[in-house]
């Protein structure tokens, strides 16, 4: 059986050890001969890499391992690039969140002005990695979950239309885990779903079990009372701020009880609530730096000091096994049905053909084949048209280096009350992003 070679781009990510452990746990389904890490921050990556090298030596000593900041070394001889980079790191995420909040606007990693700011940084970083892959391993596929996935996907559609890149998000997967629990099923894979929208901006229109029984009524009843809050055993999405997000789905569902919402819609539909409940001095970036980042790097340092994983509390990121499902679908033509971010191309009949939408696709060795959705209702369509225009304008602004278009993008975001506020936020964002954004004219 063929064994695969992969490179994890963003080797220094807080998610890397959990993903490596997940890959090792799935070797029977997806055999690996080589794992490489690539990052542009050597010091950050080294801590994670030295610990992962020890983990690999203990658990799978036949897998070759290498961590590098040299693109040629990292991207040569790979079958898959698993990409989770964060251009500007948490220092910039913190500013993306705090600057809009200072102006009374939602401060969020991927939604509103914060997401736009992050998008302007990510586009270049992702294009660069894609170019390395194409130069050094032209047959490889890039599985991208770097954010903001909606903007990154639109940028690669525009600038690299023939590239082998698949954009995927774990939020629907996480929510479906909660839904399965509500429906009394063992796994989200026991459900067949219909879903439509944009990334971090969508709805489930149908959920059945494998026999075709409708699960929507039971899930709806729960969500109208508790949102998606349930007791599930998971490591991601467990902080109190995430519980609040899961609960808030209750109010989103009230707006249209026929469609179960993605949790991220709260930032667009209840921005006033979000701003009121935000601490301008301590945002999610601070929570993550004080929580996940300290924990993961702390544990890695312990592994390095001891030279062994004994007593190590790093855990398998089981929920990330969707990455293996995706790699398997491509490698073994499994035709698994997965939600991916793809060009609409008529799948949603009454929506922009060129919009990057998140919909179910059958995935095989030629890539994704989108499932036909048909027409969507006016309310969701209206919201999506506004948001997809924001995403398209950001990409146009990046390509054309246009201040005007970026100002339009921020103005058009449903999270922003006026063109004046949009301009004030934009001017502040430009100040702090000089190192990362193209210089705007
Ligand atoms: P992190 O800051 O811990 O890790 C990101 C790494 O990327 C850092 O080590 C950084 O040095 C590196 N990096 C930055 N720019 C780079 C470049 N141009 N080339 C190579 N490496 C670069 O961040 P994290 O919290 O672990 O998240 C990583 C990414 O995964 C983020 O984009 C996050 O939004 C994303 N994410 C996506 C999903 C999803 O559903 N799609 C889920 C979780 C996380
Ligand atoms: C979800 C989203 C990701 C996002 C993450 C943020 O998983 O799907 O796109 O990056 O949440 O989590 P964090 O713990 O970093 O706030
Ligand atoms: Mn996501």
Q: Nearest 5 degrees, angle CA 406-CA 409-CA 414?
A: 150
- pLDDT, tens only, 244-296: 999 999 999 999 999 999 999 999 999 999 999 999 999 999 999 999 999 99
Quick check: 434 and 193 in contact, CB under 8 A? no
Q: Residue 238: pLDDT above 90?
A: no
169 pocket-lining for ligand 2 (C-beta < 6 Å):
yes
What is the distance in A from the centroid of ligand 3 to the CA of 145? 7
What pLDDT, on the 0 to 100 scale, is given for residue 54? 98
Which residues are tagged catalytic?
Answer: 170, 264
- pLDDT, tens only, 194-204: 999 999 999 99
Q: Atom 34 (ligand 1): residue with closest C-alpha?
A: 147
321-342: average pLDDT: 98
**Which atom of ligand 1 lies closest to the CA of 149?**
41
- Provide the whole-model pTM: 0.98
DSSP character for 262? Answer: P
**Which atom of ligand 1 lies closest to the CA of 11?**
9
84 pocket-lining for ligand 1 (C-beta < 6 Å):
yes
Write out the residues surrounding ion ligand 3, Cβ under 5 A.
Answer: 169, 171
What is the distance in A from the centroid of ligand 2 to the CA of 112? 15
Give the residue from 220, 197, 198 showing the smallest Cα distance to 207: 220
Ligand nearest to the CA of 13: 1
What is the distance in A from the centroid of ligand 3 to the CA of 395? 19
What pLDDT, on the 0 to 100 scale, is given for residue 231? 83
Q: Atom 6 (ligand 2): residue with closest C-alpha?
A: 109
């Amino acid at each position: 059986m063929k064994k695969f070679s992969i490179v994890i781009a963003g080797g220094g990510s807080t998610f890397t050890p959990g993903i490596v452990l997940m890959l090792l746990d799935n070797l029977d389904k997806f055999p690996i001969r080589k794992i490489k890490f690539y990052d542009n921050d050597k010091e950050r990556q080294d801590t994670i890499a030295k610990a992962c090298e020890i983990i690999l030596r203990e658990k799978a000593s036949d897998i070759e391992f290498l961590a590098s900041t040299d693109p040629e070394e990292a991207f040569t001889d790979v079958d898959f690039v698993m990409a989770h980079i964060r251009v500007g790191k948490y220092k910039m995420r913190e500013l993306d969140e705090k600057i809009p909040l200072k102006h009374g606007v939602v401060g969020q990693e991927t939604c509103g002005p914060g997401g736009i700011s992050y998008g302007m940084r990510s586009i270049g970083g992702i294009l660069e990695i894609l170019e390395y892959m194409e130069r050094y391993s032209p047959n490889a596929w890039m599985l991208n979950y770097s954010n903001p996935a909606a903007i990154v996907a639109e940028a690669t559609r525009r600038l690299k239309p023939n590239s082998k890149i698949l954009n995927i998000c774990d939020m629907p997967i996480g929510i479906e885990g909660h839904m399965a629990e509500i429906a009394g099923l063992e796994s989200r894979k026991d459900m067949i779903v219909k879903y439509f929208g944009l990334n971090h901006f969508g709805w489930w229109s149908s959920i059945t079990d494998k026999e075709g029984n409708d699960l929507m009524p039971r899930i709806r009843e729960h969500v109208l009372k508790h949102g998606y809050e349930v007791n599930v055993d998971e490591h991601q999405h467990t902080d109190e701020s995430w519980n609040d997000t899961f609960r808030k789905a209750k109010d989103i569902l009230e707006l249209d009880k026929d469609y179960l919402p993605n949790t991220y819609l709260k930032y667009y539909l209840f921005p006033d609530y979000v701003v009121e409940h935000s601490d301008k001095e301590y945002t999610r970036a601070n929570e993550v730096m004080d929580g996940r980042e300290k924990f993961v790097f702390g544990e890695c340092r312990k592994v390095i000091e001891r030279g062994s994983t004994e007593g190590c509390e790093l855990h398998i990121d089981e929920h990330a096994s969707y990455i293996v499902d995706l790699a398997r679908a491509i490698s073994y033509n499994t035709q698994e049905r997965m939600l991916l971010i793809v060009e609409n191309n008529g799948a949603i009949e009454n929506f922009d053909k060129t919009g990057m939408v998140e919909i179910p696709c059958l995935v095989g060795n030629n890539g994704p084949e989108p499932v036909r959705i048909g027409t969507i209702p006016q309310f969701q369509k209206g919201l999506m048209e506004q948001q997809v225009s924001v995403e398209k304008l950001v990409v146009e602004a990046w390509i054309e280096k246009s201040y005007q278009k970026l100002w339009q993008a921020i103005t058009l975001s449903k999270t922003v009350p006026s063109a004046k506020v949009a301009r004030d936020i934009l001017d502040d964002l430009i100040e702090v992003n000089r190192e990362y954004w193209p210089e705007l004219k």
